[in-house]
Amino acid sequence: MKDGLSFKQRLILFVSGKVFLRYEKREGWSGYLPIYAVKCGKHGLYEDYAHGFDEYFICKKCRKEEVVE
pLDDT in tens, 20-65: 999 999 899 899 999 999 999 999 999 999 999 999 999 999 998 8
Of 43, 62, 48, give the one whose Cα is nearest residue 19: 48
Q: What pLDDT does residue 23 have?
A: 96
Q: What pLDDT does residue 13 have?
A: 94
Q: What pLDDT does residue 65 have?
A: 86
**Sequence spans of domains, the chain:** 7-68
Q: What pLDDT does residue 2 have?
A: 56
Q: What is the pTM of this model?
A: 0.83
The torsion angles phi and psi of 25, rounded to 5 degrees, stand at: -120, 120
Number of CB atoms found within 10 A of residue 64's CB: 10
